[in-house]
Chain A
Amino acid sequence: MSGSEQQRLIEELDAAARGIDAAIAGLDDEKASRRGAEGWSVKDHLTHLTFWHEMRYFEVRRIVAGGRASFPVTSEEGVAAINDQVVANRRQLPFAQAVADLAFAREQVKTAVSEARAERLIGGSFEEIGPIGAGHEIDHAGFIEALRKEQGI
């Protein structure tokens, strides 16, 4: 993988991040904390993305160093349990911090990718957690938009 291809991956994540920024534009703490029919608020979606970027940072570092994925492909139930635990855990954070934490974790991932040895990024054994998480952000931007529509916010 050339440096420009690494840059492309990072740009992919940047583009996904802009999608999140657009999806949360204009929200305040109260609106971002309202939980929808499925139980999650906009803020919950953000803290969820943050947690997985935090895990992704270590996963990328682990795999590019020659290790195995610490999050193998597992049952949906196992991942769902972690998701619910983490989101509940971070529900007390103010919206502004949830946004800042996501930006920080994302930057850490970008740093890990930019410093990764190319062949490990391509040939590494990523499983449940992918190397960049752009698709995950795009999915959740869509969920946030749907939630805002549902709640009229």
Chain B
Amino acid sequence: MAEEQGILRALTDRQQLLDEIKAARAQVLAAIERLTEEQCKKPAVDGWSVKDHINHLTACDEIRFFEISRVSQGGRAASRVPEGEPMDAFNESIVTQRRHLPMEQAIADLNFARSLVTEAIMGAPEQALDPKAYVNYAVNGSIEHDIAHAAAIREWRKSEGI
């Protein structure tokens, strides 16, 4: 009975995690609705365009997928970048690489990377669902991250009146 309750709780936690991840991503998708390719390419005040924000989220999920897979197999999280300048430099490098991609592909890539993260979470053992097992790309890290980037995009749209 206790074991069954434990399994049920784990399933509930997993489902809650997936629901929160999905809700946060919905904010991102809502924030970019009806933007044109040209609008998405326009650099905002912080230097990143909407497309840069999207490509950044994709890259994070690509890394997150492998981090979850690594921890699921009993390994350590590989990514331990100090926040601040080193992380900013890494993010900038990746975003710069992807700046040429059309927005349609940026969104397709975003969705694909997220589908793999979701699959990885669905198949992950309990130890890989613990955020403490990660440093930079935690299993639940995309929730706050998506919400923050969605807010940045909304703020930019508001300032641009679009």
Interface residues of A (CB under 8 A from B): 47, 50, 54-55, 58, 61-62, 65, 67-68, 70-72, 74, 78, 81-82, 85-86, 88-90, 92-94, 97, 100-101, 104-105
Contacts and interface: CB of A to CB of B under 8 A. Distances in A.
B78 A58 contact: no
Interface in B86-140: 86, 89-90, 93-94, 96-98, 100-102, 105, 108-109, 112-113
A39 B108 CA distance: 38
B69 A104 contact: yes
Q: Say what secondary structure dominates the interface of chain B.
A: helix
B79 interface: yes
A54 B66 contact: yes
Contacts of A88: 86
A72 B80 contact: no
A70 B109 contact: yes
A78 B62 contact: no
Given A50-B78, A82-B93, A85-B89, 5 more contacts: A54-B62, A82-B90, A90-B79, A97-B76, A100-B75
Interface-central residue, A50, A58, A85, A100, by most chain B CB under 10 Å: A58
B75 A47 contact: no
B15 interface: no
In the complex, the 8 A-B pairs of residues with the closest C-beta atoms, listed nearest first? A85-B90, A67-B105, A97-B75, A82-B93, A90-B78, A54-B66, A70-B98, A58-B62
B113 to A, nearest CB: 7
Contact of B112 (A61, A94, A100): A61
B69 A58 contact: no
A82 B94 contact: yes
Contacts of B16: none
Nearest to B90: A85
Nearest to A128: B97
A81 B70 CA distance: 24
Contacts of B69: 104
B97 to A, nearest CB: 5
